Amino acid sequence: MTETVEHLRDFNYYKLNQNVTHVLAEYIWIDGTGERMRSKTKVYLTPITQISDLEWWTYDGSSTEQANTKWSEIYLKPVVYVKDPFRGDPHILVLCETYLPDKKTPARYNFRWIANEIMEKAKDFKPWFGIEQEYFLLKRTGTTHIWPLGWPTGGFPYPQGRYYCSIGERNNFGRALAEAHLRACLNAGIKIAGINAEVAPSQWEFQIGIAEGIEIGDHLWLARYILERLGEEFGIDINYDPKPILGDWNGSGAHTNYSDVKTRGEGGYKYIVEQLIPLLSNTHKEVLKLYGANNEKRLTGHHETSSYDQFSWGDGSRGGSIRVPVITKELGAGYLEDRRPAANIDPYLVSAVIVDVALLNSTYVNQLKQLLVQSAKPLA
Amino acid sequence: MTETIENLRDFNYYQLSKAVNNTIVLAEYIWIDGSGESLRSKTKVYQTQIKTLEDLEWWTYDGSSTDQAVTRFSEIYLKPVRVIKDPFRGDPHILVLCETYLPDKKTPARYNFRWIANQIMEKAKDHKPWFGIEQEYFLLKRTGTTHLWPLGWPTGGFPYTQGRYYCSIGERNNFGRALAEAHLRACLNAGIKIAGLNAEVAPSQWEFQIGIAEGIEIGDHMWLARYILERIGEEFGIDINYDPKPILGDWNGSGAHCNYSTLTTRSEGGYRYIVDKLMPILKENHLEMIKLYGQKNELRLTGRHETGKYDQFTWGDGSRGCSVRVPIITKEQGQGYFEDRRPAANIDPYLVSAALVDVTCLNGEHLKQLNSIFEDSLKPLGQQIFQQQKEQFQQQNQ
């Protein structure tokens, strides 16, 4: 909301001198909504060369819906750091897990700890991920009304069909933001694999991958952080709602591409079709709860989605829950695409449950669901 | 009100030539004025290099224009006490923090509390008192010349309720990051002991932390950081506001939580010492100390919005609803620091740091004196001060 004041969008309005040796560490965490991130800056007087140089920190959990006022301290445990693409070298972004003061009990909406456990157990199978994160760009009028960027206020543009991977003034909205995001992620060292304009006007997608195990969650959350911060500079909202606009407009998903040594090895395609897909089919109703709140509004069977309550799959088909790409069939081995997850997922949960179902006999599925249900309960 | 004129906000619009930059030092003399909350400054051109504090001369200014003197006896003296780099003009130029004195160069002027804070810190220096202050503030945008409203709030209205703004990112929740970031960098460039930065609970509210500073340093660095923030506000066209409760209703006020420790609290048995000895002492002195903790603080310390009540002293481990919070880490390690959450954003950090040190290390010997000096400064300029200055003027002429 800083539109009318000059310079207030220029994060680098004032430059740090060359001879200042401090390192600015931006500690980032997931808040009590499970969908948004928060961050604050810590000034370090010494260089940071490894994760153990970064200290645990605390914050006011009662201001982020993760604690009440009486016992408000939440601890931040640094787990991954990347370069800060906004402040430049040597400054860093530090992704953190959140804990209660005993430093052992995870705070509300911290799912990384259990995803990490699961990935450790399954690490010999080398589970690889690529996630296609879709999102809408929204422009705010006043402080309340939001509508997609480029859409006529209070109205609708031409129907879909012309916007996917489009170029040109009439069909492509917000490329500068998507491009800035791509570059910022690359500068930071995030494993971003590509971008494209999506089917709905003002909808975009970026892909994170190939990431192994816990990396996918880390890189996706950091990429989201960078996108939201860029949105600030452009004055644009980032929206991950599975179905932001009702009607004949696409929703936003986070299709998750998956493979492991079994699917990538000899006979992988057969393994996928005969063993893996049945496993996924059997657990469909259970895992869907972890695939994004309000996802039923998006998985309608139209707009290249499958129906919410039915499991289906097909070679090269975009109308099923799972798509097995034609190349996997052709090569006899490769990966599959789970098209069920919505754009607002927690990637730790989704990657963990896929690994659990595929490799660990679904031993954790119930626990993962429980954790999500617990986090979703309002604070006592 | 220079919004509509291009370039008028660009402080560095015109560059000094290299030749001039190598021989001249611009010294910005800074002092606290007669409101006790605002800073003033003016520039002195030095034709020589400035290496130490002693290279800087005493100076004078018109105290009758800053509510610190009457017209008849208007001279107030500036005594340089600390020098840092000027982050606006760059090397070799400097910001010079000063104490203010009457013409006898001994009697402190109105709202100069540094002199007594310094005395107290000297007396207590073997206790090595360390401070970290969390300065909160609001960013306000002016419409016309009178109406002020927080940046980003709809004019004449309110944004979504609090909950989403603390440490937020994104267009819809974060207002004014560029300004807060510029301030962080400017302070680092100047050599201020700034430790961190975050967006606060109310929309358009921010916080920076100064520390760890020992003794008199905390007051010096805090005032200089405030000076830099206000100057950056100028460049962006934004007002900086330290009101304890700028907006009534379900919106947080602004505080300056003071984190404090001494050699004793940082040593073995420190936690017990804090709980068993210091908490009772602070409780006993609560009503006296709270007077020094910011004007109109009673509007902020309501017991809600993560504050303790104005007239009651309470404390808790890890609790943000009290007067004093003892962080969990202090309890776990058996020693460390505690957080005094009572001070408002508009405090004079010299007063607060001095009061804490006096009460915890010097048996509260100076508390009454601090209060009476503070009250004297509050009195409108009038007969008393006029008399004082007249006497001095006469003395000097004899």
User: Is B110:B386 a contact under the CB 8 Å cutoff?
Assistant: no
Residues 59-98 of B with CB under 8 A from A: none
Q: Once rounded to an integer, what is the mean pLDDT over residues A218-222?
A: 98
What is the distance in angstroms between the CA of the first residue and the CA of the last residue of chain B?
Answer: 48
Say how far apart CA A330 and CA A361 lie, in whole Å. Answer: 28
CATH for B25-111, options being 3.40.50.300, 3.10.20.70, 3.20.20.70, 3.30.450.40: 3.10.20.70
A305 — pLDDT class (breaks 50, 70, 90): confident
Kindly determine whether residue B171 and residue A235, on different chains, have CB atoms separated by under 8 Å.
yes
Q: What are the extents of the domains in chain B?
A: 25-111, 123-378
Kindly determine whether residue A11 and residue B185, on different chains, have CB atoms separated by under 8 Å.
no
**pLDDT at position B144:** 65
**pLDDT at position B69:** 84
- A62-71 confidence digits (pLDDT tens): 888 888 877 8
A104 — pLDDT class (breaks 50, 70, 90): very high
Fold classification of B123-378 (topology level): Creatine Kinase; Chain A, domain 2 (3.30.590)
The closest CB to that of B328, out of A9, A69, A101, belongs to A101
User: What's the gap in Å between the CA of A257 and the closest CA on chain B?
Assistant: 28
Alpha helices, H only, chain B = 18-23, 114-123, 177-190, 217-236, 270-272, 279-284, 286-289, 328-333, 349-361, 367-378, 383-397
Alpha helices, H only, B12-102 = 18-23
**pLDDT at position B147:** 76
**pLDDT at position B1:** 38
**Facing residues of B28 across strands?**
B43, B95
Residues 106-125 of B with CB under 8 A from A: none
User: What's the gap in Å between the CA of B250 and the closest CA on chain A?
Assistant: 14
The closest CB to that of A231, out of B171, B198, B232, belongs to B171
Q: Average pLDDT of chain A?
A: 92
Query: Do strands A322-324 and A203-212 pair parallel, antiparallel, or not at all (unpaired)?
Result: unpaired
Q: Once rounded to an integer, what is the mean pLDDT over residues A8-17?
A: 84
Q: Which of A363, A355, A364 is nearest to A260 (CA)?
A: A355
**pLDDT at position A137:** 95
CATH for A121-375, options being 1.10.580.10, 3.30.70.20, 3.40.120.10, 3.30.590.10: 3.30.590.10
pLDDT along chain B (398 residues), means of 10: 58 84 92 92 92 93 85 87 95 95 92 96 97 97 79 86 93 92 96 97 96 97 97 89 93 96 97 96 95 93 86 88 91 96 97 97 95 90 63 71
Q: Once rounded to an integer, what is the mean pLDDT over residues A348-364?
A: 97
Query: How many Cβ contacts (< 8 angstroms) between chains A and B?
Result: 153
B105 touches chain A (CB under 8 A): no
More confident residue, A150 or B209: B209
Q: What are the extents of the domains in chain A?
A: 21-109, 121-375
B306 touches chain A (CB under 8 A): yes
User: What's the gap in Å between the CA of A232 and the closest CA on chain B?
Assistant: 4
Kindly determine whether residue B169 and residue A11, on different chains, have CB atoms separated by under 8 Å.
no
Lowest mean pLDDT among A303-317, A348-362, B257-271: A303-317
Say how far apart CA A96 and CA A51 lie, in whole Å. Answer: 11
> Given this chain, do its domains A21-109 and A121-375 carry the same CATH topology?
no
The CATH code that applies to domain A21-109 is 3.10.20.70
Kindly determine whether residue A72 and residue B182, on different chains, have CB atoms separated by under 8 Å.
no
Q: What is the DSSP letter of B276?
A: I
More confident residue, B68 or A116: A116
User: What's the gap in Å between the CA of A116 and the closest CA on chain B?
Assistant: 26
Kindly determine whether residue B232 and residue A60, on different chains, have CB atoms separated by under 8 Å.
no
Whether the predicted pLDDT of A5 surpasses 70: no
Kindly determine whether residue B141 and residue A42, on different chains, have CB atoms separated by under 8 Å.
no
Lowest mean pLDDT among A17-26, A36-45, A129-138: A17-26
**pLDDT at position B2:** 43
DSSP string for B189-256: HHT--EEEEEE-SSTTEEEEEEEEEETTHHHHHHHHHHHHHHHHHHHHT-EEE--SSSS-SSS---BE
Residue type, A163: Y
**pLDDT at position A303:** 83
Residue of chain B minimizing CA distance to A44: B195
Q: CB A118: neighbour CB atoms within 10 A?
A: 25
A170 — pLDDT class (breaks 50, 70, 90): confident
Kindly determine whether residue A1 and residue B3, on different chains, have CB atoms separated by under 8 Å.
no
